[in-house]
Amino acid sequence: MQNKDMGLDKENIVTVYTSLWYNVGEFKQELLRNPDIKGVSMSTDLGNFGEGTSFKDGSKVEWTDVDGRTDSLRMVQLWADGDFVKTFGMELVKGKLMDSDFGGYWDSSKEKTTVINETAWRAMKVADPIGMEIRSEWGIPLRIVGVVKDFNFQSMREQIKPAYIWYSPEAVQYLYIKIVPERRQQTLAFIKEKFEEFAKRDDAFIKDFSYQFFSDKLNQNYAREHQQGRMLLFFTVLAIVIAVMGVFGLVALSTEQRTKEIGIRKVNGAHSDRIVRMFCREYLVWVGIAFVVACPVGYWLMSNWLSEFAYQTPISWWLFLLAGLLTAAITLLTVVGQTWRKASQNPVESLRYE
């Protein structure tokens, strides 16, 4: 899930909260003076966007089609500056990007613009959305200037929703800073230094500098899965230990009960390795039966868990094969270790066994 292509770059992007709703542009330009900073964008909080609020599922957007009919759709709304698409490495499918030639959230002297994603374009059912005007939930008109390839910053449980990026560089609080990975520590120190300079200069600027990598922020969407994975690993190891102990005890009991049989086979010319193979075959039959029963049960459990996600990874057949081979290998090692001692024993001693 975490390795799925999300339609945007998530690595080497630092998230910094500024606390300002406006006038962050000067801080942004100061950061861009550093050659180790490849891009800076201002936007809303993407890592946990809309969680617990109505923003998560979007708000109503209206537009008028070519026939004069009014249509509407729920779209997820993002506020961002003109460098948002470039900083996150998004792909422009149609049209152009937003820039300072357009009006922002508070600027009423210029036309307000937006860029939509492919899902929004398909949902609008129009041949060409470029140049169309949509109206936000608050009745503010926005001119569509571009379409970007679908991107996802929410959990893989969520389908990609229709979304529009509203150009409003003066109405955001989060900075997304794309850095050169080879000079991570030096760049973080530079960002902190500049942050503290601006904090002293502006009383509204938050005083405590903190940052988080965007990839880590996205991974928080899977905190429950990480916890479940750790628990599953613990109980898997515990089950293997119990199974090995069970097989060990069962083989020990079986070899003790069949000591005379082993002695007779040895007297009749059977080699130790042949006796060991005999025991191995018997236990491998049981492993095979268990494997046949476990495969459909395991497939059902994995399918049931993956059904919680809108985007799923295919269940590979080799996972079951690998699990079966590991189980067979552990069983064989346990059986060989136990039976070889008995099979190598003097047959006279075996025949005296009561």
Residues 6+ apart with CB under 8 A from 316: none
* Residue 161, both tokens: 């929703």
Element (H, E) at 289: helix 272-306
User: What is the residue extent of each domain of the chain?
Assistant: 13-209, 223-351
Predicted local confidence at residue 117, as pLDDT: 93
* Residue (of 127, 130, 134) closest to 147 by Cα position: 130
CA distance 38 to 87: 8
DSSP letter, residue 112 = B
Q: Can you give 18-68 as a three-state secondary structure string?
A: CCCCCCCHHHHHHHCCCCCEEEEEEECCCCCCCCCCHHHHCEEEEEECCCC
Q: What are phi and psi of 116, to 5 degrees?
A: -110, 165
* Residue 46, both tokens: 């993407």
Long-range contacts of 60-64 (CB under 8 A, 24+ apart): 60/137, 61/134, 61/135, 61/136, 61/137, 61/164, 62/134, 62/135, 63/124, 63/132, 63/133, 63/134, 63/135, 64/133
DSSP letter, residue 200 = H
- State the CB neighbour count (10 A cutoff) for residue 324: 17
Burial class (CB in 10 A: 0-12, 13-18, 19+), 309: middle
Looking only at the bridges linking them, the beta strands covering 141-148 and 113-117 are: parallel
Residues 6+ apart with CB under 8 A from 74: 57, 58, 59, 60, 61, 161, 162
Residues 6+ apart with CB under 8 A from 191: 14, 16, 31, 37, 177, 211
Residues in the chain, total: 354
Looking only at the bridges linking them, the beta strands covering 211-213 and 92-95 are: unpaired
Element (H, E) at 78: strand 70-80
pTM: 0.66
DSSP code string of 292-338: HHHHHHHHHHHHHHHTT-SS-----HHHHHHHHHHHHHHHHHHHHHH
* Residue 312, both tokens: 């799923």
Predicted local confidence at residue 69, as pLDDT: 84
Calculate ∠ Cα 279-285-287, nearest 5°: 105
Report helix, strand or coil for 241.
helix
CA distance 40 to 36: 11
Predicted local confidence at residue 134, as pLDDT: 92
What is the block-wise mean pLDDT of the chain (354 residues), using blocks of 10 residues? 68 85 76 93 72 60 84 88 89 84 56 90 91 86 92 73 83 86 93 87 75 83 70 79 80 74 69 79 85 84 72 75 85 82 63 53
